[in-house]
Amino acid sequence: MIVQKAKGIHIDGRKSMSKELPLQDYLNPQFVYIHLLRQTESLKRVVEVGEYVRIGQVVALREGWGPLPIHASVSGTVTAVKKVWHSSGKMVDAIEIKNDFLGAMDDSITPEKDPSSLTKEQLVEKMKQAGLSGLGGAGFPTFVKYQSKLPINTVIINAVECEPYITSDYMMIDRYPEKLLKGLHYMMASVGATRGVVAYKAYNSHITDVLTPFLPLYPGIEIYLSKDIYPAGWEKYLIQQITKKTYNSLPSEAGAIVNNAQTAMVFADMVEHNVPLIARGITITGEGIKQPRNFLVPIGTPVKDLIEQCGGYIDGLDSTKTNYIAGGPMTGRAILIDDLIVNDTLGSVIIRPIPDPKLSVECMGCGKCADACPVFLTPTEIWHASERGDIEAVKRLKASKCMGCGLCSHVCPSHIDITDFVDKAKALIRKGA
């Protein structure tokens, strides 16, 4: 039973700028860089400099909890191991592969003879061997969700894209509507779920048009039209709206699993053709470039290449006068330069001119941050309790419930980064635990 439903507000989406041009394939960068990092886990490299690799060949391993293989996204020669920028805002080691433009495939990439005969265990193993992680931004190993000991009756595809600017899921579904439904179908089979739901915002009526012809082929799958509010794509909000249930720790408590749309598409390719996670869709957008658009790119593609494909920066702007955000403007991370590399969790890069400096204004106590909070917190009280080091007050104010959506900072008339202060409060709780 839901005692208190999460809430949200409407914000300017600014999505039309990246929908004007069709999804562009950019599949042959001169170099790709495979980060030796997944979430916070360092990876074990299993190829040497000078070695020739094929598309889909394992080049690194995530060991420990949630182990996964990591694959080459182009064929060519490993030319170096060097530091490159990651969407976390850090420079990390990466495997540099010089593309030979031959598209040579690893022997493991072969059509599956009878995908419908695969057992639950075999399907989950395919998730693992695909190196499949949540492409919505969290990067959580997908197969772990499907090893739940609790019964799962609903699998939800989250294509809401509630953050402003981002449209990569929309454009990928527009091109590959049946692949999305196939991936969801196989995900349902992985846990014996009888209900599958594709959730997206109601104003994206074109998605209804492209999905509807295929729905009769996949019994048990339906669509859910979300309101145009933020954060409608929050996992708990979606589960509450679709299943009428809630949970404390994990969605499995409500009998549900949530995956990103592109995660489902990659899974369809893995089940039917044994193609692992080697590419993803990404939005390159913002007021700072000439032609915002979406791309389908190999993992490891330099973002600088994609900015060039967008016609470069607007007149009078260059990389020294630009703000870069890796991810969405609400929850993404500010990046200083355009030398960022596409990884599994990077769904967008937003490029905007640096705004005119604003006068610093102290908190006015207006309460707008509390009014906007989807989980009914009082962010300024949490902030001040944290500054005092009052861990008991921080706990009493339930700072750990913060989902990091960024709304409090977004609505603040004083332009205070309240989200950052609440993050520090949550860290205080973890430190004192």
Q: Are 182 and 151 in contact (CB under 8 A)?
A: no
Q: Are 383 and 357 in contact (CB under 8 A)?
A: no
pLDDT in tens, 273-286: 999 999 999 999 99
Q: Measured between alpha carbons, how far is 129 from 267 in angstroms, rounded to an integer?
A: 11
One domain for residues 135 and 249: yes
Residue that is last in its domain, among 232, 250, 273: 273
One domain for residues 374 and 231: no
Q: 357 is written with which tokens? A: 């400096």
- Is residue 208 in some structural domain? yes
Q: Are 394 and 386 in contact (CB under 8 A)?
A: yes
Question: What pLDDT is attached to residue 239?
Answer: 95
One domain for residues 398 and 257: no
One domain for residues 120 and 269: yes
Residue 185: which CATH number?
3.40.50.11540
Q: Are 187 and 259 in contact (CB under 8 A)?
A: yes
Residue that is last in its domain, among 209, 243, 273: 273
- Is residue 26 in some structural domain? no
Question: What pLDDT is attached to residue 313?
Answer: 94
Give the chain's radius of gyration (CA, Å): 22
Q: Which residues constitute the domain of residue 405? A: 368-432
Which of 410, 397, 264 shows the shortest CA–CA distance to 330?
Answer: 410
One domain for residues 241 and 383: no
One domain for residues 263 and 372: no
For residues 15 and 359, the model is more confident at: 15
Amino acid, single-letter form, for residue 211 = L
Domain tally, the chain: 2
Q: 142 is written with which tokens? A: 């997908």
Does the bond joining 231 to the residue before it have cis omega, within 30 degrees of 0? yes
- Is residue 283 in some structural domain? no
Q: What are the φ and ψ backbone dihedral angles of 208, each rounded to 5 degrees?
A: -60, -40
- Is residue 293 in some structural domain? no
Q: What is the largest CA-CA distance in the chain?
A: 65
Q: Measured between alpha carbons, how far is 432 from 311 in angstroms, rounded to an integer?
A: 50
Question: What pLDDT is attached to residue 410?
Answer: 74
pLDDT band at residue 31, thresholds of 50, 70 and 90? Answer: very high
pLDDT in tens, 60-69: 999 988 899 9
Q: What are the φ and ψ backbone dihedral angles of 335, each rounded to 5 degrees?
A: -120, 140
Give 103's strand partners. none
One domain for residues 264 and 399: no
Highest mean pLDDT among 103-107, 351-355, 421-425: 103-107
- For the chain, the straight-line distance linking the first and the last C-alpha, in angstroms and rounded, comes to 29
User: What DSSP character marks residue 347?
Assistant: -
- For the ranges 150-154, 199-203, 306-310, 364-368, the lowest mean pLDDT is seen at 364-368
Q: Is the pLDDT of residue 3 over 50?
A: no
Residue that is last in its domain, among 258, 273, 288: 273
Q: Is the pLDDT of residue 429 over 90?
A: no
pLDDT in tens, 392-417: 888 888 888 887 787 787 778 877 77
Give the SS3 label for residue 86: coil
- Is residue 95 in some structural domain? no
For residues 339 and 310, the model is more confident at: 310
Mean pLDDT over the full length of the chain: 91
